[in-house]
Structure 1
Amino acid sequence: MASSTPNTLSASHITGLVLAGGRGTRMGGVDKGLQPLHGKPLVQHVLERLAPQVGTLAVNANRSQLHYASFGYPVWSDLQAGFPGPLAGLQSGLAHCTTPWLACAPCDAPLIPYDLVAHLADAIAEAGAEAAIAVTTGAQGRQRHPVCALLSRSTRDALDAFLATGERKMDRWFATLHCVEVEFPEEHAFSNINTAPELQRLEEEQ
């Protein structure tokens, strides 16, 4: 476990990381986090929801770094070249953060709950776990959302070793940890915007 014991885990012990380091392939290769929703970039929606839940905040991005920096937070690129995926973003976050815990959320989930981190932290405290991920149940069945997670900085060495084997799957990574799954009732809150039509639908619905 990290240096903070479960019963002292609080926002000041947590760095938030918004993952915006992907290629945006399904959205035509554009920088997905910078696509507008209701007049502001997707990433800004996530930053505004995550900021009150953590002590410090950063963005993981591999392009448009100056644009991401304009939101006022540090920008941490992957430590590996070639856009290897969200686990590489987590690796960078764990390498850079100075708090015992790291919370992450993707830049394309603009409706994440305002109590996301608190519920994950409570579950970690209760189980004495080193990580927690969000889970929802609904029309699509039980869905795990490992990109919405809270994990101990002490997992960094294990993640380095995991990535060194060529593995990239987040589910497989979290399966190697003492990880708890935390159920959230708001299935829609974890919707990922992967395509232009999905973004347009959300624009019209909200």
Structure 2
Amino acid sequence: MIPQHDLTGLILAGGQGRRMGGVDKGLVPFGERPLVAHVRERLAGRVAELLINANRSHAAYGEFAERIVEDAEGGYQGPLMGIYSGLLAAHTPWLLVVPCDTPALPQDLVARLGAGIGEADIAVAGDGQRLHPVVALIRTALAEDLGQALAAGERKIDRWYARHAWVRVDFAEGADAFANLNTQEERQRLEQALAQEPVKR
């Protein structure tokens, strides 16, 4: 188990939200609160510091994190750049990464990834069938290696993970717990599903 003081949380909110019409996805309402508020609940009080990787809407996101971290390089280069920026910004040995558009993440996400990391450098969440690579626990000492990979043109998260000792940590909650809401239709579907299953919320 990784102690709280060794762990920084990072919410990835640096994308362009193109499939949602260019909106800032983390601030899109889900239920009665922004998506990022639901995600923050899974990390708050379980990490030493909570960061949000954002390239716009800094004031709005500032209400949900101790620090806002922009991409180390501009041009909206994808989640791997956001992870790299978080690794550079963290003051702890570990960084727990989650996307801003996954409002149904397991409540014990932090504890279970920490328990499952073992001797590995990266723990990646799975739902029993597929991996969710943007939900991961990463050793911050890997920042330099990721910087080199990005400089060489790498933008695929799974290919970078494969360069290191990583483990899969499966969660029994199923795929909905890790659902990425890329469209308004997906948002409405998950809202309705969770409203009908309040116990899982």
TM-score by length of 2: 0.92
| One-letter code aligned to 1:13 | D
- What's 2:100 paired with? 107
Structure 1 residue 149, shift from structure 2 partner: 0.4
Root-mean-square deviation (Å):
1.1
Residue 198 in structure 1 maps to residue 186 in structure 2:
yes
> What letter matches 2:135 in structure 1?
C
Candidates 110, 127, 131, aligned match of 2:122: 131
Amino acid at match of 1:156: A
> Displacement of 1:72 after TM fit?
4.4
Aligned to 2:132, the other structure's residue is in SS state: strand
Give the counterpart letter for 1:67 in structure 2: A
- Which consecutive unaligned segments of at least 5 residues does structure 1 have? 1-6
Are the counterparts in 2 of residues 53 and 115 from structure 1 also a CA contact under 8 Å?
no
> How do 1:4-19 and structure 2 match up within 5 A?
9-19=2-12
The 1:76–1:145 alpha-carbon spacing in structure 2 relative to 1, beyond 3 Å, is: same
In 1, the alpha carbon distance for the partners of 2:65 and 2:137 equals 22
**Would you say 1:37 and 2:25 are equivalent positions?**
no
Q: Which residue of 2 aligns with 1:144?
A: 131
Paired residue for 2:58, among 49, 52, 65? 65
**1:149-174: CA deviation from partner (whole Å, max 9, x where unpaired):** 00111101110011111110111111
Matched with 1:98 is 91
**In 2 relative to 1, CA 178–72 (structure 1 residues): closer, same or farther, beyond 3 Å?**
closer
- Which residue is 1:3 aligned to? none
Cα deviation 1:36-61 (Å, max 9, x = unaligned): 01111001110112113222111000
Partners in 2 of 1:145 and 1:35 — Cα distance?
A: 21
Q: 1:184 to 1:34 in 2, by over 3 A?
A: same
Q: Does 1:175 align with 2:162?
A: yes
Calculate the TM-score normalised by the size of structure 1.
0.90
1:78 aligns with 2:106: no
Letter in 1 for 2:120: A
d(CA) in 2 for partners of 1:105 and 1:11? 17
Q: Does the 8 A contact of 2:10 with 2:51 survive in 1?
A: yes
Return the alpha-carbon distance in structure 2 between the equivalents of residues 111 and 205 of structure 1. Answer: 11
Q: Alpha-carbon deviations, 1:22-48, whole Å to 9, x = none?
A: 110111111111000111100111011
Give yes or no for contact 2:80–2:157 (8 Å, CA) kept in 1: yes
Could you tell me how far 1:66 is from its partner in structure 2? 1.2
- Do 2:61 and 2:68's aligned partners in 1 also have CA atoms closer than 8 Å? yes
Work out the CA distance in 2 between the residues paired with 1:23 and 1:16.
21
Contact 2:124/2:136 (<8 A) preserved: yes
Instruction: Report if the CA contact (8 A) 2:125-2:169 is conserved.
Output: yes
Once residues 146 and 54 of structure 1 are traced to their aligned partners in structure 2, the CA distance between those partners, rounded to angstroms, is 20
The percentage of counterpart residues that share the same residue type is 48
Aligned to 1:153: 140
